[in-house]
Amino acid sequence: MDYGLAWVLVGSLMLLGSIFAGLLSARVGAPLLLVFLALGMLAGREGPGGILFQDSQLAFILGSTALAVILFDGGLRTPRATIERGLGPALALSTLGVLITAGLVAAAAHYLLGFGWVFALLLGSIVSATDAAAVFMLLGKSGIALRDRLRATLEVESGSNDPMAVFLTITFTEMLATGHLDLGWHVAADFALQMGLGGVLGAAGGFALVWLMNRLELSGGLYPILALAGALLIFSGTQLAGGSGFLAIYVAGIVFGNRRVRADQLVGRFFDGLSWLSQIVMFLLLGLLVTPSELLPDLGTALILAVTLMLVARPLATLICLTPFRFPLREQAFVAWVGLRGAVPIFLALFPFLEGFDRSGQAFNIAFVVVLVSLLLQGWTIPWVARRLHVALPPEPEAATRLDLDLARRTDRMDRDLIGYEVMPHSRAADFPLAALELPRRTRLVAVIRAGIVQRLPEVQQLTAGDFVLVITPPETAATLDRFFSRRFASTAGQLSVDQGDFLVEGSSRLRELCAAYGIELGQADPNISLAELLRTRLGEGMGRGDRLRFGQVEFIVVDKIGPEPKRVGIVLEPDAGETGWRRKASSRVRSRLRRWRLRLPSIGSGAGSG
């Protein structure tokens, strides 16, 4: 009994240490997952903790479950609009990109380091996929604002490329077991079967879980447990049926997160905490498994493969996969650098361990060093790289405090949410009289609480900062409401770099006015439509912040959106793809000064200092 309690004590201390170390890492800018991994190593047999942990089977089971939970949580937080924006390029990266990456790393392992082809291909497969936990955390916690399509591509790729890496790792592990390389058509057929089953069973399981959640009358605390049990059932059942369980649970999370579900806010908060716990446990366990002294013999080999991966394989795979989708080179370079490796390669390196191969320890050590190098170099420098490549957009305004309240409902009879907001200073809600505040369609303000006192709505002339309001709204307009009650920057244009616009104009501006003010040739476009209508027509309803449209001799860039409507648009005058770096900045400043006299129409824009 005392022995069991000792393990509970050690485990709780490690979790507490991870949380406090995470707070410290945020202050120094260290990648949080690297901190978890380092704590696991310190607690291991060669660290101060001295814990002897060598159960690779237990680590594999716990790692699989943790990764499944992380993927389901990632799917929950992936809106349909994100899928629509990033699906094509993300699928290219998660299939062809993984193959190219694995092949190039394998070629380096074979020609530079002398490994046999099967073992070299196994190494390439193990390190070929980006890590969902690392990328989700990076994009969610770093505060980097990216073009919507770029961000969507990174998020969807990180959640969908694990199945390809798992398939390749299992395939080459089995080839090592048989002793020969056999890449026949049956391998492609197996891949199609696994991906097909994973996608179909994941979608079907997601819809079934939504149906079950909405039909059962349970105590509130049981709904998150039901969701967890259903998600793990989809994962394990698909895996046992011969499909990709990792793809299935990610797809199920997307389906679940984009449907009306009873107690959805409670489920979301539960999985947010569970995802954090899964990341901590997975990295701590993998840190415990490693023996630092055994890394030294394979250190040089691992460094060569890490450099090949980061500077050759991933960039070439990104270039080949994203060029057909017309991503600018600087965005392709950023995607290449965000190919962050985390727990997934170390987890995949457990497959040879489970087969008992003599060189399984070497594969594990190489994967571990590659992950360390990736977290140290890429994880620590991504915000700096985003700024240097000019892919970081102006930061989003400070979000309003938002409280989602679950309504007791059968979701097929009620399609409204009750949301509470704290009105932020300088928000749109506080800048206009209540009668002039154009809330989204089918949205109603039901209560205003000011200084702790519920106000009579007919007597409220205007909302003020610090008010707490209750709003009933359809779920699809919640993101639009967020922007109404959030703080606005005093000068959004001042946040813009020259790569995001020489001038800033309102989306409601008519093309006729823009052409007269900025000397733009109208071409075949209707002069009476607004710039917002032009952008919606040319870019589609799924356009996001940072999306660009070349229009004659200028380029329009979506800077700010309220729902589907582009509210503010940047204009780049005479964009030249060949101008980069200091030449682009200097020429843009000159053009800006020469054309300021054109700013005669206040309704169109207010120059570089507009709000």
Q: Please give the average per-residue pLDDT across 282-305, as a whole number.
A: 88
Dihedral class, residue 179 (left if φ above 0, else alpha if ψ from -120 to 50, else beta): left
What's the gap between Cα 300 and its chain centre? Answer: 32
Taking alpha carbons only, the member of 297, 215, 226 closest to residue 260 is: 215
The pLDDT of residue 573 is 67
Q: Mark out the alpha helices in 349-477 (DSSP H runs).
A: 350-355, 360-373, 380-388, 428-431
Least confident of 105-114, 278-287, 507-516: 507-516
Confidence (pLDDT) at 300: 92
The 3-state DSSP class for residue 597 equals helix
Region 433-443: what's the mean pLDDT? 77
Residues contacting 15, CB < 8 A, separation 6+: 277, 280
Give phi and psi for 554, each to the nearest 5. -125, 170
| 342: pLDDT strictly greater than 90 | no
Q: Which helix (H) or strand (E) holds 418?
A: strand 417-422
Most confident of 143-157, 272-286, 431-445: 272-286
Residue 164: closest CA among 243, 255, 94, 226: 94
Dmax over CA atoms of the chain, in Å, equals: 83
Give mean pLDDT, residues 285-294. 85
Q: Which of 197, 162, 191 is CA-nearest to residue 90?
A: 162
Model confidence at 401, pLDDT cuts 50, 70, 90, reads low
Q: Quick one: which of 437, 441, 568 has its CA closest to 508?
A: 568
Confidence (pLDDT) at 502: 58
Neighbours of 526 (CB within 10 A): 12
For the beta carbon of residue 344, count every other beta carbon within 10 angstroms: 30
Residue 107 is predicted with a pLDDT of 96
Q: Do 569 and 500 form a contact (C-beta atoms < 8 A)?
A: no
For the chain, what's the residue count?
611
Where do the domains of the chain lie, and which CATH numbers do they carry?
2-51+58-388 (1.20.1530.20), 402-485 (3.30.70.1450), 492-609 (3.30.465.10)
Q: Residue 546 is which amino acid?
A: G
Q: CB of 134 within 8 A of CB of 377?
A: no
pLDDT for position 562 = 63
pLDDT above 90: residue 283: no
CA distances 337 to 33, 163, 395, 514, Å, are: 17, 21, 21, 38
Burial degree of 430 (CB within 10 A; 0-12, 13-18, 19+)? buried
pLDDT score of 217: 86
pLDDT at 172 over 70: yes
3-state secondary structure of 449: strand
pLDDT in tens, 409-436: 544 455 677 888 888 877 777 777 777 7
Closest to 568 in 3D by CA, of 502, 495, 499, 493: 493
Give tens-digit pLDDT for 492-545: 433 444 445 556 777 888 887 777 776 677 677 777 888 888 888 877 766 777
Residue 586: per-residue pLDDT: 47
Q: 562-590, pLDDT tens digit by residue? A: 666 777 787 776 555 444 444 444 444 44
**Which of 19-23, 61-65, 206-210, 333-337 has the least mean pLDDT?**
19-23
pLDDT confidence band for 207 (50 / 70 / 90): very high
Q: List 450's β-bridge partners, or say none.
A: 453
Distance in angstroms (rounded) separating the CA atoms of residues 299 and 594: 57
Q: How many CB atoms lie within 10 A of CB 472?
A: 16
Buried b (16+ CB within 10 A) or exposed e, 356-372: ebeebbbbbbbbbbbbb
Which is more confident, 395 or 315? 315
Q: Where are the alpha helices (DSSP H) in 309-359?
A: 314-322, 329-337, 343-348, 350-355
Provide the pLDDT confidence category of residue 201 given band limits of 50, 70 and 90. very high
% of the chain beyond a pLDDT of 90:
22
Calpha distance 43→23 (Å, rounded): 19
Provide the H-helix boundaries in 179-243.
185-215, 222-240
Which of 163-167, 179-183, 565-569 has the weakest average pLDDT? 179-183
> Among residues 116, 156, 148, 114, which one has the least CA distance to residue 132?
156
**SS3 state of residue 171:** helix
Kindly state the tokens that stand for 224: 């998150």
pLDDT value of residue 174: 84
Which pLDDT score is estimated for 208?
Answer: 96
Q: Which residue has the higher pLDDT, 497 or 210?
A: 210
Higher pLDDT among residues 181 and 514, named by residue: 514
For residue 578, what pLDDT is reported? 42
With cut-offs at 50, 70 and 90, classify the pLDDT of residue 606: very low
Q: What pLDDT is attached to residue 396?
A: 59
Per cent of the chain over pLDDT 70 is 80
- Asked if pLDDT for residue 381 goes beyond 90, the answer is no
Residue 398: what pLDDT? 57
Give me the residue label for tokens 């629509």. 84
At 357-373, the pLDDT tens digits run 778 889 999 999 999 89
Cβ pair 560, 535 in contact under 8 A: no
- Mean per-residue pLDDT for 324-334? 90
Average of per-residue pLDDT values in the chain: 79
Instruction: Give me the numbers of helices (H) and strands (E) for the chain, helices first please.
Output: 27, 9
Question: Which positions ≥6 away from 412 have C-beta within 8 Å?
Answer: 214
Q: What DSSP string runs through 503-545?
A: EEEETT-BHHHHHHHHT---TTS-TTSBHHHHHHHHH-TT--T
Is pLDDT above 80 for 77?
yes
